[in-house]
């Protein structure tokens, strides 16, 4: 991928996940949401740390302990491994483009 905004999907029934880079102990994904939220079935509980930045749009991440973090364009957040969380809101009027870096 030469440009993080190339091959952007249109609005869809589900989020679009595109692996940008993968190496030992490191994975980078571009995620595109159109009003999507995490499944109602539970919380993300990852074995790896995650650093995420919003490149376009807005999103809200909720944590199992009650914290919420609203992210707008340019905002970033580090989520330690096993800090249970979920996406509770993304921009319903356009794409929310996330860049997520997963690492050990």
Domain containing 88 — which CATH number?
2.60.120.10
Task: Show the domain range for 48.
Answer: 16-103
> Where is mean pLDDT largest: 7-11, 34-38, 77-81?
77-81
- Model confidence band, residue 14 (pLDDT cutoffs 50, 70, 90): confident
For residues 50 and 78, the answer to whether their CB atoms sit within 8 Å is yes
> Where is mean pLDDT largest: 2-6, 42-46, 99-103?
99-103
Helix runs in 1-104, H state only: none
Task: Return the bridge partners of 87, or none.
Answer: 61
Question: Is residue 87 in some structural domain?
Answer: yes
* Count of domains observed in the chain: 1
8-state DSSP, 2: -
Question: Is residue 1 in some structural domain?
Answer: no
Question: Is residue 7 in some structural domain?
Answer: no
Q: Tokens in use for 99?
A: 């860049």
Three-state SS annotation for 83-101? CCEEEEEECCCCCEEEEEE
The model's pLDDT over 15-64, given as tens digits with 9 standing for 90+, comes to 999 999 999 999 999 999 999 998 888 899 999 999 999 999 999 999 99
**Residue 11 pLDDT:** 82
């Amino acid at each position: 991928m030469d440009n993080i905004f190339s091959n952007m999907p249109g609005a869809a029934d589900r989020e679009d996940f595109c692996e940008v880079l993968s190496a030992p102990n490191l994975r980078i994904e571009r995620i595109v949401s159109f009003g999507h939220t995490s499944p109602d079935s539970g919380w993300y509980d990852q074995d790896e740390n995650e650093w995420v930045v919003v490149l376009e749009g807005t999103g809200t991440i909720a944590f199992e302990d009650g914290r919420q973090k609203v992210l707008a364009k340019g905002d970033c957040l580090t989520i330690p491994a096993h800090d249970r969380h979920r996406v509770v809101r993304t921009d319903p009027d356009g794409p929310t483009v996330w860049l997520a870096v997963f690492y050990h």
